[in-house]
Amino acid sequence: MKKKTYSNEYVEKLRTAYIIEKKSTTEIAKDSINILGLSVSPATIYKDIINNNIPMRSKSESVAMVAGSLDKGVSFLNENIIEWIDGLMLGDGSIGFKKPDYKGSRFRLGSSNKEWTSYGTSGLAPYSPREPISYGEITARCPNQIWLSQTLMHPDIVSQAKRWYSGINQTKKVPSDVRITPISVMLWYLGDGSFHYEPDGNMSILRLATCSFDRNDLETIVIPKLNHYNINCYVDNYKNDIHIRSESVKDFFNFIGYKSPISCYDHKFNIPEWLRLIRLSDIVKDDKQKWMAQYYYKSGQLECTKSPGGRMLLFTKDQADKLKIKLGIT
């Protein structure tokens, strides 16, 4: 009988689902199309684990998983998980714990969008977040269902609670070491960000909701970290939100990406095409070179476009490279 062969990709996906994400063979089989790329039965999953020398869980570990607990002596924390937690905590995320000793901490995410809640907690797979469940009554004041997901309890979550909560009342505060990365800011934007563009007035408003945070923390911790990536922003005086200045909208999306990872928030990435182009000020800083570029454009020696209203010269990458050659910029 011909021995079954396995692709490296299949084995790694199976290993990740069973060992890292701690899914049962039944759970893997139930969602095998998404997890493994093909439909597989629980019995086949079990055989494939054995045949590929993937360590089987002990009986006690399996019982613990069924009982809804994790091995408290093993840490799953790494930089990827910390930046994921920070991105969620800047927005809709919270950590539930028993004051004041933080025992029994678990991460929670609730929103009116089931797809976002599910995606948001997917980055915390080692802590076994449950499928989102709806709660609360739909009323005139609250017309949408709230979808809640939470992880199991673990000391790793305790350590993150101590970063994000402090003081007598255990107030949520931005930690000085908050991770500002493309991933964390993307999650923050998905959960608590918005973009609005008015073509008639050529105006754009991009904001990140931060109304619950201390203004000083935003101005001394968060904004300098965003400024480091050329994202020019400020805290407004009305709602205490962070607003991205119009000249930095492109820098913001260059940082987090131009495509939503979940379809329900595609609209948040629907920005005008011209905002993706390269501004003249991004290519040259010298006034003489700017004048030369404008001369080349007006005399037909240079191809580029103008922003709505005609205030800025905008270039594709190829057009920008041609301008650099004409100006002798290396």
Helices and strands (DSSP H and E) totals, the chain: 15, 13
What fold does the segment set 79-170 form as a domain?
Endonuclease I-creI (3.10.28)
What is the reported pLDDT for 4? 65
What is the reported pLDDT for 220? 97
Q: How far is CA 286 from the centre of its chain?
A: 37
The CATH architecture that domain 183-273 belongs to is Roll (3.10)
Ramachandran sector of residue 58 (left: φ over 0; alpha: ψ -120 to 50; beta: rest): beta
Give the start-to-end residue ranges of the domains of the chain.
8-66, 79-170, 183-273, 277-327
Report whether 90 contacts 210 (CB < 8 A).
yes
**DSSP-derived pairing of the beta strands 193-198 and 233-235:** unpaired
What is the reported pLDDT for 141? 66
- CA-to-CA dists, residue 105 to 190, 236, 313, angstroms: 24, 33, 53
Alpha helices in 136-207 (DSSP H): 155-164, 182-192
What is the reported pLDDT for 93? 94
Answer yes or no: same fold for 79-170 and 183-273: yes
What is the reported pLDDT for 64? 47
What is the reported pLDDT for 59? 44
Q: Give the residue carrying structure tokens 């005399």.
A: 299
Find the angle CA(170)-CA(173)-CA(176) to the nearest 5 degrees: 125
User: CA torsion, points 29, 31, 34, 40, in degrees to nearest 10?
Assistant: 20
What is the reported pLDDT for 69? 65
Q: How far apart are CA 68 and CA 115, in angstroms?
A: 23
What is the reported pLDDT for 202? 56
Q: Which two structure tokens, joined as six digits, stand for 206?
A: 């991009």
**pTM across the whole model:** 0.71
Which residue ranges in the chain fall short of pLDDT 70? 1-5, 56-69, 136-143, 199-203
List, for residues 70-128, the tens digit of each pLDDT value: 778 889 999 999 999 999 999 989 999 877 777 789 999 999 899 999 999 999 988 98
